[in-house]
Amino acid sequence: MPLIRHCRFTAIDFESAGATRGMTDSPVQVGLASWSVEGGHADPFVSYLRTEQPVQWSARKVHGIGPEQLADAPSLLTLWPDLKRRLAGAVVVAHGKGTEKRFLRAFPGHGFGPWIDTLLLARAAWPDLSDHSLGALGASHGLTDAAMALVPEKSWHDALFDSVASLLLLERLIDALALADHPVETLLHPDTSAWHKKKRS
């Protein structure tokens, strides 16, 4: 596998309508951004997404997205050619990748990857932290101001802001552990045993 310094990392984040009984969840916003060791941060993209199901109050309380933002939004299918172009050839990054992988299953056989989960990386690197949510990590590692500089007038739970924050966290991890000249597979299966042990104690 290539060295980390030679890879393009593209983070993706979805905000959702919130699950309701008997229905699968639906995305209402997608954000993507890219970063590389040598090229820095680039290629931000964000869009609201049309959905046929109502945005749940509990979800709107988190991300602030409601019908007024979604009225003229494109569908995820309509955006697929652009998303595919942005993800192709990249190492895909997400913080808690389960949601992002689940929504991308709408496009079977897309072949994107490998996937890096910054939640697992953070648990492996800093097992003693009590909170590994993206916002908490942004605060504890001084990333919030950097994210705000890259994504002005946005904050946590905006899909682009969270994508950029995931990349800033990845950048911090790579710098802190001096991993730039390691193969990218170093990031794929972090050892979270110390975090699990602390959680059980």
Comparing 14-23, 167-176, 192-201, the range with the smallest average pLDDT is: 14-23
Q: Evaluate if residue 25 carries a pLDDT over 90.
A: no
**Domains of the chain, first to last:** 4-200 (3.30.420.10)
Q: For residue 105, what pLDDT is reported?
A: 83
pTM to 2 decimals?
0.94
- CA 68: distance to chain centroid? 25
CA dihedral 172, 173, 174, 177 (to 10 degrees): 120
pLDDT bracket for residue 75 (50, 70, 90): very high
For helices 118-125 and 193-200, angle between their N-to-C axes, nearest 10 degrees: 70
Q: Report pLDDT for 110.
A: 73
Higher pLDDT, 180 or 25: 180
Residue 133 DSSP label? S
Confidence class for position 113, pLDDT limits 50, 70, 90: confident
Q: What is the pLDDT of residue 9?
A: 97
Element (H, E) at 77: helix 76-87
3-class secondary structure, 10: strand
Q: How confident is the model at residue 149 (pLDDT cuts 50, 70, 90)?
A: very high
| DSSP 8-state secondary structure symbol assigned to residue 158 | S
Confidence of residue 109 (pLDDT cuts 50, 70, 90): low
pLDDT attached to residue 170: 98
High-pLDDT (> 70) share of the chain, % = 99
Query: Average pLDDT, whole number, for the chain?
Result: 93
Report the run of H or E that residue 31 belongs to, with start and end.
strand 27-36
Rg (CA), the chain: 17
Residue 165 has pLDDT above 70, yes or no: yes
Query: What average pLDDT does this structure show over 126-133?
Result: 95
